[in-house]
Each structure stands twice: as structure tokens, then as C-alpha cells.
């Protein structure tokens, strides 16, 4: 029991580092590469936004496949293959000689991230921890944003001194030197035994076995599709992806347009990731205390307000307040959506269902940056695009309020008694 508790914490730590280096380098740094890529390939704001869209869209497309594969093969094979593809893709981006080559490598980067980051990490953590899941998911996955803080500043420094191509090479190396060994030697999909004694030390005090759910319990995919709450959750995540992605990807160009320095813009982007690092576990813990659905809806509404304020980038105090609201609430879904989905459908098909929802979110996130960039190309201002993003995100808050618990899990003790 004590050894399994140590193993659970060790795995959570390994996932923290893995997400730090994979997501922090592969996606969260894109904003500081935006302007160098714009100049290098003589593109438009919409065309360069397409690269970010490729990462997000193909991360989402790979997610349900990864969720299904994890039920069939060892999770280390899935994550290892995804991480390897992500590292190779970063090296490929550094060597791209045309926009089409660049875009192709970003597509492969998205596939690699989809197989090695959010869905596998969330499933592993859900398997190993049965209490305070929102808190655990928030803390362990905060590596994504902390990686964004450090890797964004590192990338900005490398771009200014050695160029964007060298920066991508440097981002790729830790994936091969650190991430792959961690996946192979530390990561494990689920405990070997299941029950109160097996995971008590990893999750909470004795006497909490009534909260444990058997892995085989829950709805099949087709049964979940018949639940209204599942579709409302999907709609909310689509609106969320659309609303937040454009604001994040265009933050650096927005600030440069408002005559802030490149260093200030990079610092602002790093501040976003720093605030997420604090906000995600905080909101996860609040969700565990007062309810995931209420907290997620409130987070969406506050995040939408932040985007509206960010659109007024000409006034630094307003911009700073907007960034605070936006960033602190931005990653709340990562901590709480798996919890809500578990309440709706149970654990049986959690991997596939979470992968599908993640894909729906990434479709929205793929569209958002393009629309914001397109609006800018037409009118020469980001205000309208950011206002549209905020309105759609507020729709996510309304949608999430319609999600209710529609599945009552069967406690492990009851299943055992039935045997």
C-alpha cells in the first residue's frame, strides 16, 4: 500500500516533467515564433495561424485514437511513439525550406502531442488517484504551463541570439534525453491491483472505499452518445477551444501591433503560462470542494471577460487585468472535464470519450486563431476578433450549466459483495 502510494506520486511527477517538456515546448511557445515565421515565409497572419491550427487540430484528431490504443497496448508504447514523433517534428520544423514543409511538420507535431500528452496523462492519473481528482489533475498537468513559462522565455532568448531554427533544435533535445527515458522507466498505466487497499495510500485516508469505482463499470460509447449532458459538454468545449485559442495565439502580435516591445510581449506570454500554473490546481481544488460543473461554468465566464479586456491592448493596466482573468481561468477544463465526464459516463470508456471531447475542443481551437487572424487582415484591428472570441466563450459557460450527473457509479465494495 505504501509502496503503491509512492509509485503513484512518482508517476505523477514523471507526467509533470513529460508535459513540461512536450506541451511546454511543442505548443505553448508558438506565440514567440509567430513573427519570425511570418517574416521568414512571407505569410499573412491567417496563414501563419494555420500552423498553430495544425498543431491543435491534429493533437485533437490523435487524442481519441490514443485513448482507444491505451486500452489495447501498453500506455508506454503509445506515449513513447507520440513523444518520438513530436521530437522529430521539432527538428523537422527547424529544417523547413517552404511553408508547405513547415505546415506538414506542424501536422506531425500535433499527432505526436496527441499521443503523448493530455489524454494519456489524464487517464493515467485518473487510474492511480480516486479522490481529489481535480486537485491531482490540476497539479500534475501544471507542467504544461510551467513549461510554457520557461520554454517561452528560453525560445525568445534563443530567437534573438541564434535564430528561430536553432531555438527549435534546442527545444527538441530534452524530449529524447529526458522524456523518453521517463516514459519507459517510470510511467505505468494503472495499479496492478484494484480496490481500497491497493490505492488507499495514493489517494486518501482509509474508509474512503465507497468512492472507488470499478474500471469495468460505466457506459459504453454508444450509451454515452445518448446522454444530453455529454453533448452539452462537447458543445461547451468546442466554444471554449474557439474562444481561448485565438486570444492566446495572437497575444504577441496583438501587443506588437500596440507598440509594446518584443521582450514585453514574450514576458506577457510567459505570464499567461505562469498564471495558468497557479490557476489550474487552484480551480481544480475549488472544483473538488464546491462542484466541478459550477466552477467550470464560472471559469468560462471570467475567462471571457478577460479576453474582452485584452482586446483593449493600448491601455497597459486594462491589458494586464485581462491577462490575469484570462490566464488564471484558462486551464480549468484540464483539471475538471475528466471529473465531469467520469460523473456522466463512468470509467469504462473514459479514454475514448475524453479523446473525442478533446478532439471537439481542438476543432474549436483550430478555427479560433484563423478567424481572429482573418478579421485582423480585413479590418487591421484585433478588437473585433477578441470580442467575438469572448462572446463564443461565454456560450460555453451557458452550455456547461446544462450538464448534470446522469450516471450513478457502482461502488467497488458493492461489486465485491455481489460476488
Domains of the chain, CATH where assigned = 2-192+212-418 (1.20.1250.20)
Cα–Cα nearest to 338, from 32, 45, 67, 114: 67
pLDDT higher than 50, residue 341: yes
pLDDT cut 90: percent of the chain above it: 41
Q: What is the rounded distance in angstroms from the CA atom of residue 145 to the CA atom of residue 156?
A: 16
C-alpha grid cell, residue 5: 502510494
CA distances from residue 210 to 133, 190, 350, 409 in whole angstroms, order as listed: 15, 19, 20, 10
114 in Cβ contact with 66 (< 8 Å): yes
pLDDT higher than 70, residue 32: yes
Can you tell me which residue has the cell 479576453?
307
Q: What is the largest CA-CA distance in the chain?
A: 69
pLDDT higher than 50, residue 173: yes
Q: What is the rounded distance in angstroms from the CA atom of residue 271 to the CA atom of residue 160?
A: 19
> Mean per-residue pLDDT for 93-97?
94
pLDDT higher than 70, residue 57: yes
CA 316-319-324 angle, to 5 degrees, is 125
333 in Cβ contact with 364 (< 8 Å): no
pLDDT higher than 50, residue 281: yes
pLDDT at 409: 56
pLDDT at 80: 96
pLDDT at 202: 43
More confident residue, 162 or 68: 162
pLDDT at 410: 55
pLDDT at 211: 41
C-alpha grid cell, residue 403: 450538464
Helical (H) or strand (E) element with 57: helix 45-72
E strands of 132-240, at which residues?
none
> Mean per-residue pLDDT for 361-380?
87
> Mean per-residue pLDDT for 209-233?
73
Average pLDDT of the chain, as a whole number: 85
Q: What is the rounded distance in angstroms from the CA atom of residue 44 to the CA atom of residue 47?
A: 5
pLDDT at 403: 82
> Residue 192 — very low, low, confident or very high, per pLDDT cuts 50/70/90?
low
> Residue 90 — very low, low, confident or very high, per pLDDT cuts 50/70/90?
very high
pLDDT higher than 70, residue 207: no
Q: Which residues pair with 213 in a beta bridge?
A: 411
pLDDT at 210: 36
CA 181-186-190 angle, to 5 degrees, is 140
Q: Can you give the pTM of this predicted structure?
A: 0.75
Amino acid at each position: 500500500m505504501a509502496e503503491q502510494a509512492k509509485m503513484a506520486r512518482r508517476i505523477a511527477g514523471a507526467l509533470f516533467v513529460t508535459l513540461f517538456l512536450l506541451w511546454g515546448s511543442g505548443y505553448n511557445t508558438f506565440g514567440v515564433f509567430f513573427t519570425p515565421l511570418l517574416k521568414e515565409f512571407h505569410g499573412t497572419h491567417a496563414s501563419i495561424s494555420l500552423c498553430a491550427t495544425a498543431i491543435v487540430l491534429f493533437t485533437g484528431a490523435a487524442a481519441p485514437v490514443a485513448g482507444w490504443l491505451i486500452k489495447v497496448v501498453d500506455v508506454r508504447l503509445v506515449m513513447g511513439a507520440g513523444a518520438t514523433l513530436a521530437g522529430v517534428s521539432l527538428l523537422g520544423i527547424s529544417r523547413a525550406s517552404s511553408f508547405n514543409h513547415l505546415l506538414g511538420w506542424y501536422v506531425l507535431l500535433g499527432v505526436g502531442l496527441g499521443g503523448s500528452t493530455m489524454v494519456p496523462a489524464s487517464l493515467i492519473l485518473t487510474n492511480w488517484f480516486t479522490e481529489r481528482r481535480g486537485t491531482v489533475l490540476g497539479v500534475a498537468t501544471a507542467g504544461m504551463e510551467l513549461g510554457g513559462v520557461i520554454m517561452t522565455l528560453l525560445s525568445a532568448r534563443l530567437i534573438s541570439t541564434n535564430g528561430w531554427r536553432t531555438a527549435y533544435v534546442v527545444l527538441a533535445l530534452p524530449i529524447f534525453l529526458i522524456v523518453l527515458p521517463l516514459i519507459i522507466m517510470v510511467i505505468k498505466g494503472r495499479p496492478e491491483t484494484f480496490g481500497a487497499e491497493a490505492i488507499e495510500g495514493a489517494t486518501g485516508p482509509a474508509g474512503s472505499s465507497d468512492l472507488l469505482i470499478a474500471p469495468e463499470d460505466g457506459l459504453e460509447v454508444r450509451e454515452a452518445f445518448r446522454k444530453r449532458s455529454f453533448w452539452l459538454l462537447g458543445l461547451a468545449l468546442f466554444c471554449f477551444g474557439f474562444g481561448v485559442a485565438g486570444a492566446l495565439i495572437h497575444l504577441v502580435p496583438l501587443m506588437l501591433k500596440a507598440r509594446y516591445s518584443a521582450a514585453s510581449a514574450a514576458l506577457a506570454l510567459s505570464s499567461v503560462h505562469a498564471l495558468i500554473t497557479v490557476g489550474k490546481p487552484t480551480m481544480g481544488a475549488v472544483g473538488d470542494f464546491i462542484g466541478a460543473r459550477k466552477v467550470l461554468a464560472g471559469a468560462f465566464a471570467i475567462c471571457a471577460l478577460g479576453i474582452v479586456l485584452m482586446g483593449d491592448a493600448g491601455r497597459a493596466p486594462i491589458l494586464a487585468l485581462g491577462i490575469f482573468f484570462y490566464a488564471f481561468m484558462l486551464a480549468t477544463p484540464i483539471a475538471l472535464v475528466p471529473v465531469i465526464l467520469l460523473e456522466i459516463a463512468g470509467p469504462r470508456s473514459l479514454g475514448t470519450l475524453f479523446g473525442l471531447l478533446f478532439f471537439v475542443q481542438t476543432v474549436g481551437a483550430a478555427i479560433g486563431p484563423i478567424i481572429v487572424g482573418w478579421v485582423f487582415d480585413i479590418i487591421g484591428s484585433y478588437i473585433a476578433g477578441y470580442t467575438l472570441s469572448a462572446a463564443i466563450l461565454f456560450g460555453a459557460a451557458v452550455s456547461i450549466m446544462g450538464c448534470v450527473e446522469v450516471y450513478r457509479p457502482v461502488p467497488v465494495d458493492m461489486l465485491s459483495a455481489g460476488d
